[in-house]
Structure 1
């Protein structure tokens, strides 16, 4: 892969007053960053970039720490700002309270937010091309299609277990899928949070009970819980879409090196799967930066821009 090179200028103080352009990193716990996973620390003299993300949506969690890893290497300070709903995140992005949303679904799932705030948001590029919304059941379920749900509401207590009320997945399920398949009145979409949905899924599978949940791909839970997507012959859950890095308007003008680096991140299924698995499962909460350091060393080809 042809790579463009970004160089971080790092000032070393004390007796060795040397200006070096070299491999630097930052982040929690002295985490290495950049496509070589180096161990030096960038000065953060290029300003502070705020990343806004929802920790329960692990695509954004994973890419937030990936961007922190890379941006600190080229001299930016990175502030991690966690939220619980997509709406406030888009509002913050439009107002400039958040500089980057590191894993947005603007083509379909979050289209309503883009319709409202898009003129104040800058698209910094798509990093993954095959994201999709799903309705899923455990692998042992006899259901194979969303069409199979009709007339079986009593078997599921009339419930489809969903995630956050403000999620695009919730809107797509409620406003498109349920009416498209004539499930109004028979099923209620129960919303709360992604962790709550996964708890219900886990409990049902352990008891070998039937359950229907809203899910999406890519997402580590699809493999961890051995679920299958129900076929969607009416296309009510929408077509596959890209996952994007979004910035507040004027981001690339204010932070040109950051924008160039971000635009050069492209992940395929295997690369994305490894990133999320390392961040969420192998290392876990509190060790996300370490997970990203390992991933960066393993996946230099994910970067069209190479940090020197």
Structure 2
């Protein structure tokens, strides 16, 4: 059966939709939520916004995996700015990368606000070639890795060989459909000979972070699949293991992707989005505010606070 995206009902709160709709949508690999806005995160200017709103119009639906906080953070940043331009924004939360790319290619969502199409999700991009538009990239140094806590005496993936007993024979991973999971299973573990010693334990990003936090608090040994940029790298004081064979691939850019026809239908939005460029510091600050400083349910406030710190960073709307 083809997995179809169910678009959110306008005006339904994010938490209410998650609670009321998740059971029926789990089989489709996604959760739809409201979060639509014709007022964005308030009446304030929000950094470089001009007061009084913009002249653009239309509804843009953003699809992303909420536990991958780059997509979550950029979705709410774009909601703030695009609402100021006059657009209405809706959110669709999706559980798996493959379903997200499929929904984008089918036009069930309008854009993916933080994609990894060059390396991590290249398979999905190739699968849907011609059905997805690349609106532009905003960050240049995204990378997959295996990580351990800073207190451990291991610095390279090669150092994991023969050390499985320290980790209970497990590498703690994330979602089964993630590009990081495929790279770890198909390239890194066999490439370094780890597949005969270790099991890659899969669940979710949230599950991996729970295991990581528990181990760090107890100063126990653990190895997890991680990536940069991601707030957990600093929150849990972990270090990315060196990949001397380069099996995780080169660093890649994070992109804004749209469905076919996005730029034609939303030219003002596409032009604005294509100009966004963030450094490590700027992006890290945004993600930290969204995930840690403000937390779930207060993403619009986190974005407002970030825009106050960087009032001239984004193009004017």
Aligned to 1:205: 216
**Contact kept? 1:218, 1:273, Cα under 8 Å:** yes
In the superposition, relative to structure 1, how do residues 246 and 33 fare at CA in structure 2: closer, same or farther (>3 Å)? farther
Distance in 1 of aligned mates of 2:250 and 2:279 = 18
Show structure 1 runs of 4+ deviating over 3 A.
31-35, 37-43
Please point out which of 102, 116, 123 is paired with 2:134. 123
Output one character per residue of 1:210-267: Cα deviation in whole Å (capped at 9) or x when no partner: 0000000010000000001111100111111000000001100111001001001110
Output one character per residue of 1:160-187: Cα deviation in whole Å (capped at 9) or x when no partner: 0000111111011111101110112211
Distance in 2 of aligned mates of 1:234 and 1:33 = 48
Is 1:36 matched up with 2:48?
A: yes
Q: Structure 1 unaligned runs (5+)?
A: 1-24
Distance in 1 of aligned mates of 2:43 and 2:54 = 11
Aligned to 1:290: 301
Deviation (angstroms), 1:300: 3.4
Higher RCO (CA < 8 A, seq sep 6+): 1
Aligned to 2:186: 175
Secondary structure of the residue that 1:55 maps to in structure 2?
A: coil
Aligned to 1:101: 112
Aligned to 2:33: none
Q: Structure 2 unaligned runs (5+)?
A: 1-37
Is 1:132 matched up with 2:143?
A: yes
Secondary structure of the residue that 2:155 maps to in structure 1?
A: coil
Distance in 2 of aligned mates of 1:101 and 1:300 = 25
Aligned to 1:27: 40
Aligned to 1:306: 316
Distance in 1 of aligned mates of 2:285 and 2:188 = 31
**Contact kept? 1:33, 1:296, Cα under 8 Å:** no
Secondary structure of the residue that 2:239 maps to in structure 1?
A: strand
Q: Which has the larger radius of gyration?
A: 1
**Contact kept? 2:65, 2:95, Cα under 8 Å:** yes
Deviation (angstroms), 1:47: 1.0
Deviation (angstroms), 1:118: 2.5
Please point out which of 247, 251, 271 is paired with 1:236. 247
Deviation (angstroms), 1:42: 5.9
Aligned to 1:112: 123
**Contact kept? 2:138, 2:277, Cα under 8 Å:** yes
Output one character per residue of 1:128-164: Cα deviation in whole Å (capped at 9) or x when no partner: 0001001000011111110011111122111100001
Secondary structure of the residue that 1:300 maps to in structure 2?
A: coil
**Contact kept? 2:50, 2:316, Cα under 8 Å:** no
Distance in 2 of aligned mates of 1:217 and 1:32 = 32
Distance in 2 of aligned mates of 1:31 and 1:272 = 24
Aligned ranges for residues 36-185 of structure 1 at < 5 Å?
Answer: 36=48, 40=52, 46-185=57-196
**Contact kept? 1:85, 1:166, Cα under 8 Å:** yes
Aligned to 2:6: none
In the superposition, relative to structure 1, how do residues 84 and 104 fare at CA in structure 2: closer, same or farther (>3 Å)? same
In the superposition, relative to structure 1, how do residues 121 and 135 fare at CA in structure 2: closer, same or farther (>3 Å)? same
Distance in 2 of aligned mates of 1:97 and 1:242 = 24
In the superposition, relative to structure 1, how do residues 240 and 75 fare at CA in structure 2: closer, same or farther (>3 Å)? same
Distance in 1 of aligned mates of 2:53 and 2:301 = 15
Q: How many residues align?
A: 280
Please point out which of 169, 180, 191 is paired with 2:202. 191
Aligned to 1:225: 236
Instruction: Answer 1 or 2: which has greater strand percent.
Output: 1
Secondary structure of the residue that 1:209 maps to in structure 2?
A: coil
Query: What root-mean-square deviation, in Å, do the aligned CA atoms of Structure 1 and Structure 2 show?
Result: 1.6
